[in-house]
């Protein structure tokens, strides 16, 4: 089996929280590192021992696909009265599960929150906490739930990439405009110098 298909198999047994608790930016980077750098198999804390066993089975050449579940699944919540609308939580949420605008109260979309906890520490006024979800009370994978989470994560990455490229394009345009302004100014200066010379001989 080639490395790419091993990585893909390992991704399947990871919870898709993109929570960085393994010290990698996302589940896929951890899976890659398990193959390429022989990273330890016990670094996915939310997956726990079961996930570690699944990873080891895959590395030993067995195909593995069984549903796993997080032991204690919770989602983020915001105390509305205390939120100052700083937008920090929106920026750190890997799956766009928080809505709000600057200086406005923010809200967690429970059905989209995967419980990664990344937002909790970032809130400057400590108005976020993890609570028992009202609707779905478990996080399992592989499942529609984990697939959605993965999809949202990659959609977000694409969007951020597009924004970065647009910014770079705008920066280039501003520089080009500046060059054009400089050129126009140079042409005007040269013309007025010429006129001044001509006037001398008139
Ligand atoms: S769910 Fe596991 S593998 Fe994925 S980012 Fe979190 S710790 Fe890493
Ligand atoms: S709302 Fe918070 S806990 Fe939920 S997915 Fe986003 S960052 Fe993670
Ligand atoms: S980080 Fe906290 S204060 Fe800032 S918008 Fe989010 S919930 Fe509100």
- The 10s digit of each residue's pLDDT in 45-93 is 999 999 999 999 999 998 767 899 998 899 999 999 999 999 999 999 9
The Cα 122–Cα 103 span in angstroms is 17
77 lines ligand 2 (CB under 6 A): no
Q: Of 197 and 60, which is predicted with more confidence? A: 60
Mean pLDDT of the residues in the chain:
92
CB atoms within 10 A of CB 162: 10
What is the fold of 3-69? 3-methyladenine DNA Glycosylase II; Chain A, domain 3 (1.10.15)
- The pLDDT tens digits of the residues spanning 4-48 come to 889 999 999 999 999 999 999 999 999 999 999 999 999 999 999
The Cα 156–Cα 56 span in angstroms is 30
CB within 8 A of 32, min separation 6: which ones? Answer: 7
Q: 131 forms bridges with which residues in the sheet? A: 75
- Cβ atoms of 46 and 15 within 8 Å: the answer is yes
pLDDT surpasses 90 at 3: no
Q: Ligand 2, from 18, 79, 117, 130: best to mutate by most atoms within 8 Å of Cβ?
A: 117
- Name the residue at shortest CA distance from atom 4 of ligand 3: 86
Q: What are the residue boundaries of the structural domains of the chain, listed by start?
A: 3-69, 75-140, 142-201
pLDDT surpasses 80 at 168: yes
What is the fold of 75-140? Alpha-Beta Plaits (3.30.70)
Q: Of 156 and 199, which is predicted with more confidence? A: 156
Residue 150 pLDDT level (bands cut at 50, 70, 90)? very high
Counted residue by residue, the chain has a size of 202
pLDDT surpasses 80 at 121: yes
**What's the DSSP call for residue 103?**
T
pLDDT of residue 64: 67
Q: Is the pTM of this model over 0.85?
A: no
pLDDT of residue 52: 96
Q: Of 99 and 169, which is predicted with more confidence? A: 99
Residue 175 pLDDT level (bands cut at 50, 70, 90)? confident
CB-based contacts of 79-82 (< 8 A; 24+ apart in sequence): 79/127, 79/128, 79/129, 80/105, 80/107, 82/125, 82/126, 82/127
**Least distant ligand from the CA of 89:** 3
CA of 135 from ligand 1 middle (Å) equals: 23
- Cβ atoms of 128 and 118 within 8 Å: the answer is no
Average pLDDT over residues 182-199: 82
pLDDT of residue 1: 65
Average pLDDT over residues 106-114: 96
Q: Which of 28, 144, 25 is nearest to 94 (CA)?
A: 25
């Amino acid at each position: 089996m080639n490395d790419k298909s091993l990585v893909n198999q390992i991704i399947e047994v990871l919870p898709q929280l993109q929570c960085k608790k393994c010290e990698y930016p996302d589940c896929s980077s951890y899976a890659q590192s398990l193959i390429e750098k022989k990273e330890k198999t016990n670094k996915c804390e939310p997956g726990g021992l079961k996930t570690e066993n699944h990873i080891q089975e895959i590395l030993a050449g067995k195909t593995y696909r069984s549903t796993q579940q997080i032991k204690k699944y919770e989602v983020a919540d915001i105390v509305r009265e205390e939120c100052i609308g700083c937008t920090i939580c929106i920026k750190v949420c890997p799956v766009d599960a928080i809505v709000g605008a600057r200086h406005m109260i923010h809200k967690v979309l429970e059905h989209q929150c995967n419980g990664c906890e990344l937002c909790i520490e970032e809130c400057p006024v400590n108005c976020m906490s993890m609570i028992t979800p009202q609707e779905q009370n478990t996080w399992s994978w592989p499942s529609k739930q984990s697939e959605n989470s993965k999809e949202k994560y990659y959609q977000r990455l694409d969007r951020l990439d597009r924004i970065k490229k647009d910014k770079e394009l705008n920066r280039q345009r501003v520089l080009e405009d500046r060059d054009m302004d400089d050129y126009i100014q140079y042409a005007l200066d040269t013309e007025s110098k010429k006129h001044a010379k001509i006037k001398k001989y008139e």
